[in-house]
Amino acid sequence: MSTRDRALGAFYGLAIGDALGMPTQSMSREDIVTHYGFIRSLRDAVAEQPISPNLPAGTITDDTEQAVLVADLLVGGAGTIDPMVFAKALLDWEAGMVARGLADLLGPSTKRALKMLESGADPDEAGRNGTTNGAAMRITPVAIATAPELDGLVDAVVAASKLTHNTNIGIAGASAVAAAVSAGIDGASLPDALDQAEHAAALGARKGWWCAGGDIACRIRWARRWVRGMDRTTLSYAVSKVIGTSVAVQESMVAAFALAEALGDSPVEALTTAAGLGGDTDTIAAVLGAILGAQHGLSGFPADLLTPVREVNELDLEPVVDGLLELRKSGS
């Protein structure tokens, strides 16, 4: 399998996971079962969906759209993202969502950081309260553009994340995701990629402003060991009730890694399980899709998932992935 196929798998896997989680995001497990039954495929959002009511099956959300935004900025900036350009791009993106009548807007950490920036705060301080999963959900382009050598990779994560999530927790979560994806693109096995994620999370936790919260590397290590051998029903209950599925990075990102550990050989089963957990399902499934897409490549996703996501969103990621891989090759 080629590096390009793995990179495309990671980015399209993000989009597929995002689309699977779209109709269930911010709903409880019980409400998901009531309105959808068990999630096994892409589904239209019901009218009762609190974020994306009535959107058609296959529609992506902020996770993929902001990842594409980051990818375009990385390629356009030859591997660097100007914080003020990034801030404007995020605000323009949200304005576009409002104009479309959608409620899928900027997350709490990102919104707070941009308000601080507008008030004259230094870009390095704007993200000092960012402990949610926004940086992690949009970090996949950085992982595609950056080799898995951890010091350089974590530095790239910090550069892309500090505007909105410049905390030990936010950077650790984004570093874990980036390491797992980047290592997978280089051909690492899933256990090795997840081990790399733990190491990157420990390194990332030394960066940014300190905030209280569970250590991401320790929580990933514990969760991976705990879920081994669980059947799908037990796993779903354990992840949703014990690990947690909120926007807090030490819940949702750990949930993604737990599912990768337990179901990593079956990407579709892993992503549909994530979509039924309740909580921040679109982000958990998106990150999980990126991690497993880097392992299984584009061919790891069946046409009945990949084709609708491409068509419904008019999504053509090949050009931007090629641009990101050029950055990876040049070491930018």
Q: Does the pLDDT value for residue 169 go beyond 90? A: yes
322 annotated to a ligand binding site: no
- pLDDT at residue 105, rounded to an integer: 67
43-81 pLDDT per residue, tens: 999 999 999 899 999 999 999 999 999 999 999 999 999
Q: What pLDDT, on the 0 to 100 scale, is given for residue 140?
A: 98
Per-residue confidence (pLDDT) for residue 102, from 0 to 100: 67
d(CA 169, CA 156): 16
Rounded CA-CA distance 204/176 in Å is: 8
Average pLDDT over residues 223-250: 96
CB burial string 128-164: b at 16+ within 10 A, e below: bbbbbbbbbbbbbbbbbbbbbebeebbbbbbebbbbb
Is the pLDDT reported for residue 201 higher than 90? yes
If pLDDT is split at 50, 70 and 90, which confidence band does 127 have?
Answer: confident
Query: Is 122 one of the annotated binding-site residues?
Result: no
Residue 215 in marked binding region: no
pLDDT of residue 272: 98
Tell me how far apart the alpha carbons of residues 236 and 33 are, in angstroms, rounded to a whole number.
13
Q: What does the alpha-carbon distance between residue 295 and residue 274 come to, in Å, rounded to a whole number? A: 18
pLDDT at residue 155, as a whole number: 97
273 known ligand binder: no
Nearest to 177 by CA among 40, 291, 72: 291
What is the average pLDDT score of the chain? 94
Are 9 and 19 within 8 A, CB to CB?
Answer: no
pLDDT value at position 106?
Answer: 75
Contact assessment for residue 329 and residue 144, using Cβ atoms and an 8 Å cutoff:
no
Annotated binding residue 61: yes
DSSP string of 78-116, one letter each residue: TT---HHHHHHHHHHHHHHHHHTT------HHHHHHHHH
CATH number for 3-330: choose from 1.10.10.10, 1.10.940.10, 3.40.50.880, 1.10.4080.10.
1.10.4080.10
State the Cα–Cα distance between residues 280 and 63, nearest whole angstrom: 11
d(CA 180, CA 194): 6
Is 80 labeled as ligand-binding? Answer: no
Q: Can you say how many angstroms the Cα of residue 107 is from the centroid of all Cα atoms in its chain?
A: 13
Per residue in 85-117, pLDDT tens?
888 888 888 888 777 776 666 778 888 888 887
- In this predicted model, which residue has the larger pLDDT, 296 or 105? 296
**Predicted model pTM:** 0.95
